[in-house]
Amino acid sequence: MSPTTAVHVRDLHKRYGPKRAVDGLELSVEHGEIFSVLGPNGAGKTTTVEILEGYRHRDRGEVSVLGTDPQRGDRRWRSRLGIVLQSADDQAELTVAELVRHFATFYPEPRDPEELVAAVGLTEKAGTRVRQLSGGQRRRLDVALGIVGRPELLFLDEPTTGFDPEARRSFWDLLRSLRDEGTTILLTTHYLDEAEQLADRCAVVRDGRVVALDTPAALGGRAARQVMVRWVEDGAARSTTTAEPTALVTALTARLGPGEIPGLEVLRPTLEDVYLSLIGKASDHHLEEVPA
Amino acid sequence: MSTTTPPPEHTAGPTDRSTAELTTRPTDRRASAGTGALPSLARVSWARTVLELRQFFRERDAVVFIFAYPLIMLAIFATVFGQGGATVGPEPGIPFAQYFLPGMVATGVMLSSFQNLALSIAVERDEGGLKRLRGTPMPPAAYFLGKMGSVLLTSAIQMVLLIGLGSLAFGIDLPSTADRWLTFAWVFVLGTAAGAVCGVAFSSVPRSGRSASAVVTPIVLVLQFISGVFFVFNDLPTWMQRVAEVFPLKWLAQGMRSVFLPEEAEAFEVSGSWQHEATAAVLVAYLVVGLVLGVRTFRWQRRDDG
């Protein structure tokens, strides 16, 4: 474990009765990166994150978060973390500004509450009671409460569920500015575009273990480099998957040219295609080997 | 102190940050992190107390059914049953409103402490508020001290209003000796503390926040009927008096009668005595048992969550 590692997990196991929620999971998150954990419901994402946050105890394995075992985390350790949980509908009768100011009193060096409310775009709602906020505003308040203590490491569990596209975009900007400030972010999400937009690295979790770990662009390794080429030849639609699309198109030009190849499409699998194949739910024929 | 390693590669994204700019400190923030002094327990506890008070007085249900309830009941009962100079007990008797006031004072103490905390904590747990707090560096003790502080303050304000209402609207003579008010003080503080810790412990009983009031309210109501709050304790069947003796409300009400009723009324008690020692013993017992149970059973998360 290098000194730049913010989160280190080795051979993590956790079971609930007969169900192995986490089954030998390994990952490490470097300081200063946005690390995304992707996976279907029930894959063990939330269990893992809650073990890292100190909410749950592991059955076995090694876990270090900012150099501390979460099961032995003290106030000092907690003051270096920010936690945004999946869903909460608490504190309905307090206002945005009251809550942010209140949570600031827990930390040694809190952010300026007013600046923070502005940063999450809630200045106009500062005097509004929480129960009157929309889902997206509520979520931004959750994040404000999570980062009010200037955390070194921020946990976000499915932060943009229920956001409209514009709210998501400004939320992503907020996360990027946090990273630029040096905050390490561990993000679990259902949304692949979110991981693609934000994450420096992604781990895909399935059945309690990491099945792939890479940058979003490189995720899935070889599969992502398999490109589908479609064209029309002799009036029939043809398609093939290749790792060398340029060579294929050159060959097609020679065969069908000169001029345009009818119906030519060169399709790279999206992160979604790669993801679905990794979690065992291939959506279409993209990643199946089509004989040339 | 580690330096930041540049993350592998930042994917390009929208660069408009007009709404999402956070000020960055000129110094390396990580260099100072973890060295600033954590806020003291007293400071956080006071912040919690203030927040709890705000929350309580903004919750309409709480204000009506916990804070105002004894005031409303005193007004109704004293008006209805006090008509035509009705009295309680052997001649010359105690004016009904005066007999009824200590019961309402005792009820107020129980509602403000036990019912308030049993309900509010069950709801906070269910809604995820407790879990959120647990994830911060707030010292857990500050949460409980904040609850205690707010309970003591709301309950004290309630007492002032209740006793004021009795005195001003219903002409109840208030005790004039210091020892009576001293009795009031210890019964009030002990009763509030016992009710509060029992409320914390009981908050784990309801299965959800929504069912909490359905579980807590009937218990509180039944206790009021059997403990000499709504009815004259002497008029209750003996077996009911025996049952009531197991619970603290009966003792709270009796202790408050010793404050607000004339000296002659002591002979009218079932035991013929105010039984201060027994009252103190029962309340302390509830305080200790509630504390032990509360500490052992308290959960920051829902039962179905971890």
Shortest Cα–Cα distance, A281 to chain B (Å): 27
Residue B205 makes CB contacts below 8 A (sequence gap 6+) with: B118, B215
**Residue of B43, B207, B38, B178 lying closest to A107 (CA atoms):** B38
Which residue from B minimizes the CA distance to A155?
B135
What is the pLDDT at residue A1? 58
Which residue from B minimizes the CA distance to A53?
B135
User: How many whole angstroms separate alpha carbon B303 and alpha carbon B248?
Assistant: 28
Task: Considering only residues A78 and A90, tell me which one the structure prediction assigns the higher pLDDT.
Answer: A78
CB–CB of A34 and B7 under 8 A?
Answer: yes
For chain B, the structural domain boundaries read 47-80+93-297
What is the pLDDT at residue B14? 40
A272 touches A192 (CB < 8 A)? yes
A6 touches A66 (CB < 8 A)? yes
Please report, for residues A51, A92, A198, A249, B189, the alpha-carbon distance to residue B192 in angstroms, rounded to integers and kept in the order given.
37, 26, 52, 83, 5
- Count of Cβ atoms closer than 10 Å to residue A50 Cβ: 24
Chain B hits for A150, Cβ within 8 Å = 29, 33
Confidence band for A225, pLDDT divided at 50, 70 and 90 = low
Buried b (16+ CB within 10 A) or exposed e, B225-244: ebbbbeeebeebeeebbebb
3-state SS class at B267 = helix
Joined together, the tokens standing for residue B288 give 């200790």
User: How many whole angstroms separate alpha carbon A138 and alpha carbon A150?
Assistant: 20
Please report, for residues A61, B56, B161, B301, the alpha-carbon distance to residue B72 in angstroms, rounded to integers and kept in the order given.
59, 18, 11, 36
Chain A hits for B35, Cβ within 8 Å = 108
A103 touches A96 (CB < 8 A)? no
Write out the DSSP string of A38-100.
E--TTSSHHHHHHHHTTSS--SEEEEEETTB-GGG--HHHHTTEEEE-S-----TTSBHHHHH
3-state SS class at A265 = strand
User: How many whole angstroms separate alpha carbon B101 and alpha carbon B106?
Assistant: 9
What is the pLDDT at residue A242? 85
Those of residues 18-37 in B touching chain A at CB distance below 8 A are 19-24, 28-30, 32-37
> What's the one-letter identity of residue B194?
A
Confidence band for A178, pLDDT divided at 50, 70 and 90 = very high
Shortest Cα–Cα distance, A18 to chain B (Å): 15
User: How many whole angstroms separate alpha carbon B290 and alpha carbon B288?
Assistant: 5
Which residue from A minimizes the CA distance to B29?
A182
Confidence band for B34, pLDDT divided at 50, 70 and 90 = low
Range B259-281 average pLDDT: 92
Bridging pattern class, strands A60-65 and A5-16: antiparallel
pLDDT at A286 over 90: no
Which residue from A minimizes the CA distance to B129?
A90
Most B CBs within 10 Å, among A57, A78, A105, A171, to test the B interface: A105
Range A190-205 average pLDDT: 88
Chain B hits for A55, Cβ within 8 Å = 131, 134-135, 301, 306
Chain B hits for A30, Cβ within 8 Å = 5, 7
What's the ipTM?
A: 0.84
Task: Considering only residues B237 and A91, tell me which one the structure prediction assigns the higher pLDDT.
Answer: B237
What is the pLDDT at residue B136? 96
For chain A, the structural domain boundaries read 5-214, 222-287
Point out the least confidently predicted range of A9-23, A268-282, B34-48, B108-122.
Answer: A268-282
Those of residues 135-194 in B touching chain A at CB distance below 8 A are 135-139
CB–CB of A94 and B58 under 8 A?
Answer: yes
What is the pLDDT at residue A287? 42
pLDDT at A207 over 80: yes
Confidence band for B17, pLDDT divided at 50, 70 and 90 = very low
Contacts A–B by Cβ distance under 8 A: 165
Task: Considering only residues A83 and A158, tell me which one the structure prediction assigns the higher pLDDT.
Answer: A83
Shortest Cα–Cα distance, A234 to chain B (Å): 41
Mean pLDDT, chain B, rounded, equals 88
Chain A hits for B24, Cβ within 8 Å = 180-181
What is the pLDDT at residue A202? 92
Picking from A30, A178, A197, the nearest residue to B22 by CB comes out as: A178
User: How many whole angstroms separate alpha carbon B217 and alpha carbon B205?
Assistant: 13
Kindly report, residue by residue over A135-145, the tens digit of the pLDDT. 888 888 999 99
The answer to whether B210 faces chain A, any CB pair under 8 Å, is no
- Count of Cβ atoms closer than 10 Å to residue B133 Cβ: 19
Chain B hits for A138, Cβ within 8 Å = none
Point out the least confidently predicted range of A14-23, A114-123, B4-13, B276-285.
Answer: B4-13
C-alpha angle B143/B144/B148, rounded to 5°? Answer: 120
Kindly report, residue by residue over B103-119, the tens digit of the pLDDT. 999 999 999 999 999 99
The kind and range of the H/E element at A227 are strand A227-233
What is the pLDDT at residue B256? 97
What whole-number percentage of chain B has pLDDT above 70? 88
CB–CB of B55 and A75 under 8 A?
Answer: no
CB–CB of A107 and B39 under 8 A?
Answer: yes
What is the pLDDT at residue B70? 95
Shortest Cα–Cα distance, B162 to chain A (Å): 26
Range B146-168 average pLDDT: 96
pLDDT at B30 over 70: no
Kindly report, residue by residue over B181-208, the tens digit of the pLDDT. 999 999 999 999 999 999 999 999 998 8
What is the pLDDT at residue A221? 62
**Residue of A30, A1, A32, A35 lying closest to A205 (CA atoms):** A35
Please report, for residues A5, A274, B28, B29, B30, the alpha-carbon distance to residue B3 in angstroms, rounded to integers and kept in the order given.
11, 34, 9, 11, 8
Most A CBs within 10 Å, among B22, B35, B127, to test the A interface: B22
pLDDT at B12 over 50: no
pLDDT at A291 over 60: no
Most A CBs within 10 Å, among B5, B23, B57, B136, to test the A interface: B136
Residue A119 makes CB contacts below 8 A (sequence gap 6+) with: A144, A174, A177, B20, B21, B22
What is the pLDDT at residue A243? 82
What is the pLDDT at residue A53? 96
The answer to whether B211 faces chain A, any CB pair under 8 Å, is no
> Taking the C-alpha atoms of B272, B276, B282 and B286 in order, what is their torsion angle to the nearest 10 degrees?
140
Bridging pattern class, strands A236-242 and A5-16: unpaired
Shortest Cα–Cα distance, A253 to chain B (Å): 34
Chain A hits for B14, Cβ within 8 Å = 169, 172-173
pLDDT at B26 over 80: no
Rg (CA), chain B: 25
Confidence band for A223, pLDDT divided at 50, 70 and 90 = low
Joined together, the tokens standing for residue B112 give 């403000």
Mean pLDDT, chain A, rounded, equals 87
User: How many whole angstroms separate alpha carbon A256 and alpha carbon A240?
Assistant: 16
pLDDT at A245 over 50: yes
pLDDT at B27 over 50: no
Options 3.40.47.10, 3.40.50.300, 3.30.70.940, 4.10.80.400; CATH of A5-214? 3.40.50.300
Sign, CA torsion B25/B27/B30/B34:
negative
Confidence band for A289, pLDDT divided at 50, 70 and 90 = very low
